[in-house]
Amino acid sequence: MKKLLCAALATISLSATTAKAGIFPEVVSQLDLGSFTGKWYQVASTNPFFQAGCVCVTATYTPRDDHSVTVANSCRKETARGEIKDVIGTAYTTNDPAKLNVVFGGPKLPFSNYWIVDLANDYSYAVISTPLRTPIWILSRTPELPEETLTGIYSRLKSRAFPTWSISPTLQTGCYN
């Protein structure tokens, strides 16, 4: 518990420092949470440690009566036929609709940790990150995105100082999610 508290305080401290420096990434200017809900496929990410070995990654967002959103993340371990790993959490809205507070067990965080930094006008893709610009998740309504769409996403992220070199494709071929 002490380690968790220290990590949280370090994150808050680092967040405060980066806020003063003006280096937080911008988020999308508008978000219709109703249009954002539904099933998403992870087409690429920075592969955070808690997703080690995951393929066939999906996220399903379902609105709740209390204006929060149920987050159901699923993946298969190592192969498209591997063991299914699921985790359920809650996304709480904040004063900025594009900055959510997502919790997978435990108390609600004192800061938003799920920032929508790029979003197609038709909600066909979304790019999620944090105030620290990592991890990064590129999500799509379909298991793949056209190459020109991905190129545009990478270009916009790079121009905004996101670590695009650490993003790799997520296997979605042969998945049955």
DSSP string, 6-17: HHHHHHHHHHHH
Look at residue 48 and give its three-state secondary structure: coil
DSSP code at position 152: H
The two tokens of residue 70 are: 């149920």
Cα(148)–Cα(155) distance, integer angstroms: 10
For tokens 């508290």, what's the residue?
Answer: 5
What's the pLDDT band for 176 if we cut at 50, 70, 90? confident
What are the E-state strand segments in 95-167? 99-103, 114-119, 125-129, 137-140
Q: What is the mean pLDDT of the chain?
A: 88
Please tell me the distance from the alpha carbon of residue 113 to that of residue 153, in angstroms, as a whole number: 21
Q: Is the pLDDT of residue 10 over 50?
A: no
Q: What's the pLDDT at 12?
A: 39
pLDDT at position 177, please? 58
Mean pLDDT of 147-175: 96
7 pLDDT above the threshold of 80? no
Average pLDDT over residues 30-41: 96
Instruction: Report the predicted TM-score, pTM, of the whole model to 2 decimal places.
Output: 0.86
Tens digits of per-residue pLDDT, 144-158?
999 999 999 999 999
Domains and CATH numbers, the chain: 29-169 (2.40.128.20)
In this prediction, residue 24 carries a pLDDT of 92
CA 57 vs CA 29, 30, 119, 137, 162: distances in Å? 27, 26, 19, 11, 22
